[in-house]
A and B are shown apart, each in its own frame.
Chain A
Amino acid sequence: MSFLRVVQGYEGADIPGAAQAVTEADVRRALEKPVLGPDEYLTLLSPAAAGLLEAMAQRANALSVQHFGRTIQLFTPLYLSNHCTNQCVYCGFNARNDIARTMLDEEGILREGEAIAASGLKQLLLLTGDAPRRASAEYIGQAARTLRDFFPSLGVEVFAMREEEYAHLLRCGVDSLTLFQETYNRSLYAALHPAGPKRDYTFRLDAPERGCRAGMRLVNVGALLGLDDWRRDAFFTGMHARYLQKKYPQTDVAVSLPRMRPHAGAFQPASLVGDRELVQILLALRIFLPRCGITISTREPAVLRDHLIPLGVTRMSAGVSTAVGGHAGETESVGQFEISDPRSVEEVCDAIRRRGYQPVFKDWEPLDGVCAVAV
């Protein structure tokens, strides 16, 4: 059984249609339930729920404070390579885009790591395009070994891997995995990924589960909101997180809510997700999955990010460059997408504090390298 079975179970179901049929009374009923099922989650994503955002926000805020406290974890991405063999139509690293391709060598990785560490950040997310022959699991693992002294927590957001490859990364010091399905709509997925290994919908869909099986501490899933009808993708994102939480209770599951951003291609999203819609997704998700981590990246503008802090966000990126070598300032390479919140780490921390929340830099202690345990 994989999450594919869950997706298949909804084949032919008119999810946006079902959301349209929801009444305000349905929403109020759902909000009174202590534990929500999939139907209630969809209820909270409905147009009827859009009129009850404040009530949802009150509950989402209370749940978040209760389970996570007034804290926001901070991380930053480090782009190792922008080589890519895929042609995702919505991405600036698309193999057909004529951009300078670079890949950091060990020295470059160290320089980037040092530059980021100087900002005080302790959680790092390593990114590559999808070119497994160049930026392979071995290469990414080596990068992790180089960086683990600076960063107690290392995550990867790279191509979908096999379970052994995830296990290898874990041995190199990686503890979390982020992998976006982009869209859960299989036919749209095929159209958006015309060539390259990422075309394999099922291999990608099952990758987070392989990460859980390999022993990743945190697995973060998501859809690129706007590619398909946002209600459908938000619904399946929540269902995916719930599936992983139930099946792999040892893994912390988190969700990211990235919206489409301008990039070096010409693709325009199908379904625009406005700020109100983004907030509705965030609130519905928090109420549906009270213990799920929720990540908001610098794709979102500073003012909006600041307002989202009390609504259920648990992790934010800060001090971001989406260009390879962008932190040490030694590159002119093009970023993967344009960021909207260019503030420094200290500025983001100040904004978090102004909301009465505490920025958290470190939330994991690596356990390797300690004397063997006779358990």
Chain B
Amino acid sequence: MEHDNNNDPLVIGGSVLQSRLFVGTGKYGSDAVIPEVCRASGSQVITVALRRVDMRAATGNVMQHIPKHMRLLPNTSGARDAEEAVRIARLARAAGCGNWIKIEVISDSRYLLPDGYQTARATEILAKEGFVVLPYMNPDLYVARDLENAGAAAVMPLGAPIGTNRGLRTKEMIGILIEEIGVPIVVDAGIGRPSEACEAMEMGADACLVNTAIATAGDPVAMAMAFGAAVRAGRQAFLAKAGPVLCGGADASSPLTGFLGEA
């Protein structure tokens, strides 16, 4: 029997989501493709960099392309420390982008790796102010615990450095977070192929955010559809509880303990 997604909602910050794929708005050759990407992927959450949003422009503004049903996840791209992230979050809320915020604090322009300490500081402040905070992070257990304690509504560990499409390079570490952390795990950054998103979901991640791999694909809409299907398949496989992987052949017989049954 096919798994019914309606009975497997993802709850973040009290909101119920039927789709476990989050999409992005950066890097598209044209923002006009965004509605099609949203539709094809089935996604309900879309991240947008506040730095790119021009509230005063009636046209040429990314916001005008985001379908109404999508939940906005503004991000603090450009923030180099906690203070800047907090300011950007407040600006986003004041600009009418809602109270969800993806914290990105990146102070390394060469590798774009997130700063765990600053991210936790920003998370603490913003969670107290009523934001639903989703911090982007390195998959480090201690940082994840700090973020959870600071009030994060979910954590967003990277699969590989941002924009690299290298896949789930941090699989082992993400596995630990899935085991240990109580809030949802949204794998963000690095996923380059639907099979990798599927793998993350199979492992038990709660959701995936995919931007570069969709936006820079030859056919972004078709790729969005593929990612939507992959995330659903991975989730379904996780819920179906895959059989164990056996090493060294099948165990049809029990050479060492078989005699017990024979007694």
Given contacts A69-B216, A245-B109, 18 further A-B contacts (CB under 8 A): A65-B27, A66-B163, A66-B216, A67-B163, A70-B28, A71-B28, A249-B107, A250-B107, A250-B109, A253-B109, A356-B30, A357-B29, A358-B28, A358-B31, A362-B53, A364-B51, A365-B88, A375-B122
Interface string of A338-375 (1 = CB under 8 A from B): 00000000000000010011101111110100110111
Q: B110's contact among A66, A70, A122, A245, by CB below 8 Å, is which?
A: A245
Nearest chain-B residue to A175 (Cβ)?
B78
Expressed in whole angstroms, the Cα–Cα distance for A251 and B108 within the complex equals 8
Q: Kindly list chain A residues whose C-beta atoms are within 8 Å of the C-beta of B84.
A: 367
Q: B57's contact among A120, A356, A371, by CB below 8 Å, is which?
A: A120
Q: Is the interface of B mostly helix, strand, loop or mixed?
A: loop
A-B contact pairs, 5 of them (CB 8 A): A70-B28, A70-B215, A252-B109, A362-B52, A370-B90
Q: Kindly list chain B residues whose C-beta atoms are within 8 Å of the C-beta of A68.
A: 27
Expressed in whole angstroms, the Cα–Cα distance for A15 and B82 within the complex equals 44
Interface string of B29-61 (1 = CB under 8 A from A): 111000000000000000000111110010010
Is A364 in contact with B212, judged by CB distance below 8 angstroms? no
Residues of B within 8 A of A (CB): 26-31, 50-54, 57, 60, 78, 80, 82-84, 86-88, 90-91, 107-110, 112, 121-122, 125, 163-165, 212, 215-216
Q: Kindly list chain B residues whose C-beta atoms are within 8 Å of the C-beta of A122.
A: 54
Expressed in whole angstroms, the Cα–Cα distance for A298 and B88 within the complex equals 33
Closest Cβ of chain A: how far from B93's Cβ, in Å? 11
Nearest chain-B residue to A293 (Cβ)?
B109
Is A249 in contact with B54, judged by CB distance below 8 angstroms? no
Is B91 in contact with A375, judged by CB distance below 8 angstroms? no
Residues of A within 8 A of B (CB): 65-71, 120, 122, 152, 217, 245-246, 249-253, 291, 353, 356-358, 360-365, 367, 370-371, 373-375
Closest Cβ of chain B: how far from A137's Cβ, in Å? 24
A-B contact count (CB 8 A): 93
Q: Kindly list chain A residues whose C-beta atoms are within 8 Å of the C-beta of B112.
A: 291
Is A373 in contact with B86, judged by CB distance below 8 angstroms? yes
Q: A65's contact among B86, B108, B216, by CB below 8 Å, is which?
A: B216
Is B91 in contact with A71, judged by CB distance below 8 angstroms? no
Q: Kindly list chain B residues whose C-beta atoms are within 8 Å of the C-beta of A370.
A: 87, 90-91
Q: Kindly list chain A residues whose C-beta atoms are within 8 Å of the C-beta of B88.
A: 365, 367
Q: Kindly list chain B residues whose C-beta atoms are within 8 Å of the C-beta of A353.
A: 30
Is B53 in contact with A71, judged by CB distance below 8 angstroms? no
Is B87 in contact with A367, judged by CB distance below 8 angstroms? yes
Nearest chain-B residue to A252 (Cβ)?
B109
| In the complex, the 9 A-B pairs of residues with the closest C-beta atoms, listed nearest first | A69-B27, A70-B29, A249-B108, A362-B54, A356-B29, A367-B87, A375-B83, A250-B107, A365-B51
Expressed in whole angstroms, the Cα–Cα distance for A357 and B84 within the complex equals 30
Expressed in whole angstroms, the Cα–Cα distance for A167 and B112 within the complex equals 25
Q: A120-B57, A253-B109 are in contact. Are A373 and B83 (CB under 8 A)?
A: yes
Q: Kindly list chain A residues whose C-beta atoms are within 8 Å of the C-beta of B122.
A: 375
Q: A66-B212, A69-B215, A250-B107 are in contact. Are A365 and B27 (CB under 8 A)?
A: no
Nearest chain-A residue to B121 (Cβ)?
A375
Nearest chain-A residue to B212 (Cβ)?
A66
Is B86 in contact with A69, judged by CB distance below 8 angstroms? no
Is B78 in contact with A365, judged by CB distance below 8 angstroms? yes
Nearest chain-B residue to A368 (Cβ)?
B87
Expressed in whole angstroms, the Cα–Cα distance for A69 and B214 within the complex equals 10
Nearest chain-A residue to B26 (Cβ)?
A69
Q: Kindly list chain B residues whose C-beta atoms are within 8 Å of the C-beta of A358.
A: 28-31
Q: A67-B163, A375-B83 are in contact. Are A251 and B54 (CB under 8 A)?
A: no
Q: Kindly list chain A residues whose C-beta atoms are within 8 Å of the C-beta of B29.
A: 69-71, 356-358
Closest Cβ of chain A: how far from B159's Cβ, in Å? 15
